[in-house]
């Protein structure tokens, strides 16, 4: 049973436009969400996170939106740059001291110059 789902395996956008990556979850115990970026042959790099007490968190070009009622979160990248091309993973955790992250299967973003 996949608790965190990224239904789009790939996404292609033009440089300068907005990239929107989506993630859905099923476990209502999740209360902390993270986005990671991964290049080939490297470990995931932390991008941005959001706790369930918020509905938006912004860091530079990256904004994460959380809709708890829909169990849905999204990552917006504005403006998109060719260097953003990577695989993006959504992850979730249920607190209580747990460091266990449940990951989606990732979305490969390609930003075309």
Partner 1 sequence: KAGVTQTPRYLIKTRGQQVTLSCSPISGHRSVSWYQQTPGQGLQFLFEYFSETQRNKGNFPGRFSGRQFSNSRSEMNVSTLELGDSALYLCASSLNSAGLYNEQFFGPGTRLTVL
Among 3, 32, 57, 110, binds partner 1 (CB under 8 A): 32
User: 3-state class of 58 per DSSP?
Assistant: strand
113 lies in the binding site for partner 1 (CB under 8 A): no
8 lies in the binding site for partner 1 (CB under 8 A): no
20 lies in the binding site for partner 1 (CB under 8 A): no
Among 62, 68, 102, 108, binds partner 1 (CB under 8 A): 102
What dihedral do alpha carbons 57, 39, 89, 113 form, nearest 10°?
A: 60
Q: In angstroms, what CA-CA distances link 79 with 7, 34, 89?
A: 23, 20, 19
Within 8 A by CB and 6+ apart from 111, the residues are 12, 13, 14, 15, 19, 80, 81, 82, 83, 84, 85
**96 versus 113: smaller Cβ distance to partner 1:** 96
46 lies in the binding site for partner 1 (CB under 8 A): yes
Among 21, 77, 89, 107, binds partner 1 (CB under 8 A): 89
Residues listed for the chain: 113
Contacts with partner 1 in 50-69 (CB under 8 A)? 51
- Kindly indicate which of the ranges 19-27, 68-76, 77-85, 91-99 contains the residues binding partner 1, using the contact rule CB under 8 A: 91-99
């Amino acid at each position: 049973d996949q608790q965190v789902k990224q239904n789009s395996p790939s996404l292609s956008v033009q440089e300068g436009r907005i990239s929107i990556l989506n993630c859905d979850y099923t476990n209502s115990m999740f209360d902390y969400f993270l986005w990671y970026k991964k290049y080939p042959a490297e470990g995931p790099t932390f991008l941005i996170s959001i706790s369930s007490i918020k509905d938006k968190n912004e860091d530079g070009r990256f904004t994460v939106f959380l809709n708890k009622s829909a169990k849905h979160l999204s990552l917006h990248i504005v403006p998109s740059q060719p260097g953003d091309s990577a695989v993006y993973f959504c992850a979730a955790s249920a607190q209580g001291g747990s460091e266990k992250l449940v990951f989606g299967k990732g979305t490969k973003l390609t930003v075309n110059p």
